[in-house]
Structure 1
Amino acid sequence: MLAEERYRRIRALLRDHGTVSVEHMTEKLGVSRETIRRDLVELDTLGEIRRVHGGAMLAESEPPINVRAGIRVKEKRAVARGALTHVRSGQTLFIDAGTTTAILADALTTLDGLHVITNSVAVASKLADIRAARAGTHDVHLVGGTFNASVGATYGGAAISEVYRFHADLALLSPVGVDAAHGATSFFPEEAEMADAMSRNAKQTVILADYSKIGVLSRVVSCPPQRISVLVTNARASKIPGAGELCSAFGAVDYV
């Protein structure tokens, strides 16, 4: 297979799946690990991809949210269940927008009397449905602002100002990547600004990140290491190079 054809197929895999492992690319393309690694170095040099531990992701953007919603669902559910152990009935929560936090909203059905402030339409809708089914269970506040239809969330100055009106027990955030040196990072500045505002106005910050996000550094810091109380991630993340540094960088790491 010619190099250009491999590059085309690698780009297609990354567009469809977000972060893709070297093993998966090797299997799909039918070439050696050494060939894939050389191809990734070349594409990284060209600025088309970003290499991460064990694989790569596209440099220019995240996959669309409808694509991300179908990726690693089992792992995201495990992370949501793990995050749930840090939440108690009656607490005030900030929850940002993301496919993992949307799954978390389903897990919150087991609790009562939550006060939830979110910029995510999916999170607000799911919790409002719960409230309708179980009269008055949760108080849900969707912050106003500039609506991003592709993400299904509100952003911008008006949304940030609204967040600063509240003080929460927990900020539950799902970033693009997490590493020990930089903490949680996001691809778009407006997403990072929202997560930053939520973490600043919460007593504790819980980061929800499936294993593929560990060791990934995205464009903008959304929550520095010193503000991360707990990182909840999958058990397989403990085998990623540099995972040992996470425990010393953050308050705690829960492997689920």
Structure 2
Amino acid sequence: MADHLADHRLELIMSVLKARGECRTTQLAQQFDLSEMTLRRDLHTLEKRGLLKRVHGGAVLLNSDVNYSLRLQQDQIKKQAIGLAATRFLKSGQTIYIDAGTTTLELARAIRQGLPQVTDLQIITHGITIATELAGQTPYHLQLIGGDVYQNALSTVGPLALAQIAELNIDHFFMAAVGVDQAMGWSNSNHVEAVIKRAVIERSKSSCALADSSKWNQPSYAPIVPFDAMSTWVVNPGLPDDALAAAQAAQIELVIA
């Protein structure tokens, strides 16, 4: 019985964290009529499970990731069209950076199919599946950023990755995003990859978002950059009028895949 009650408390805490992204110990104690000592013990348990990080006075959610294999199966036709449409920006002599993600994976697959007009391309990525897709399959130079492996997204992250990115000069960054709206801008389901994306944007001459229309008005856990930080957005048909107006106001070029 005690174990069942403890599990129920943990579920309640996680429901609050997923809704807010963070929580305060005093607020949770009042909301669930629990002692702060009990809550601190529960937060410690959840931290050991890798679900949150304790901070002074409370805790923050580490991520709201969906399983990578599940994301691979979602909206495949839309993602394929977006990936193929993004190849129009590729030119010989460019250095491009392909973000980790299931939509950007379709860009890599389109590149693998062949780009007759592009003879020379430098491709950089921290996406392990992106590198696996392209390695030995194209005539282009491929660089995989090193670092700690973030297993929820099959990507490399952390200080080593950031140090390598800081040395790059990138012509075009193709960025994946979990959510986007005017208020929060482009957002991601975890903090560690959001940091990587921001670092790449800082080293890129232009940045292009690859995100389907279902991402609009669906802000995720970790902010990346403001909405107008992207120069281009490749998206499937069906963006609502407010998204079209927002993109026009932000001077973002829309490419409908």
Deviation at 1:251, TM superposition (A): 2.6
Supply the AA of the counterpart residue of 1:206.
C
Code of the residue aligned with 1:101 in structure 2: it is T
> 5 Å matches for 1:224-235?
224-235=226-237
Deviation at 1:86, TM superposition (A): 1.4
Q: Which residue of 2 aligns with 1:78?
A: 81
Amino acid at match of 1:80: G
In the comparison of the two structures, how many residue pairs are matched? Answer: 198
CA distance in 2, matches of 1:250, 1:105: 27
Gaps of 5+ in 2: 1-14, 21-62
Matched-pair contact (CA < 8 Å) for 1:163–1:197: yes
- Which residue matches 1:177? 179
Considering only aligned residues, what root-mean-square deviation do their CA atoms show, in Å? 2.2
1:68 matched to 2:71? The reply is yes
Could you give the per-residue CA deviations for residues 87-134 of structure 1, whole angstroms, max 9, x where no partner exists? 212210111110011111011131432111110111111121313xxx
Match of 2:168 in 1: 166
SS at match of 1:206: strand
Q: Which residue of 1 aligns with 2:132?
A: 125
Query: What pairs with 1:160-239 in structure 2 (closer than 5 Å)?
Result: 160-237=162-239, 239=240
Please list, as runs of the form range in 1=range in 2, the aligned pairs for 1:145-160 lying within 5 A after superposition.
145-160=147-162
CA contact (8 A) 2:83 2:105 kept: no
Partner of 2:246: 245
Q: Which runs of 5+ in 1 are unaligned?
A: 1-44, 51-59, 132-136
Q: C-alpha separation between the residues in 1 aligned to 2:73 and 2:222?
A: 25
Corresponding residue for residue 107 of structure 2: 104
Aligned-partner Cα distance in 2 for 1:193–1:117: 17
Q: Deviations over 1:157-194 (max 9, x none)?
A: 11011011111100110111122333311121111011
Residue identity (%): 27
AA partner of residue 69 (structure 1): L
Could you tell which deviates more after superposition, 201-210 or 217-226?
217-226
Partner of 1:21: none
What amino acid maps onto 1:198 in structure 2?
Answer: V
Shift of 1:226: 3.4
Give the TM-score taking structure 2 as reference length. Answer: 0.71
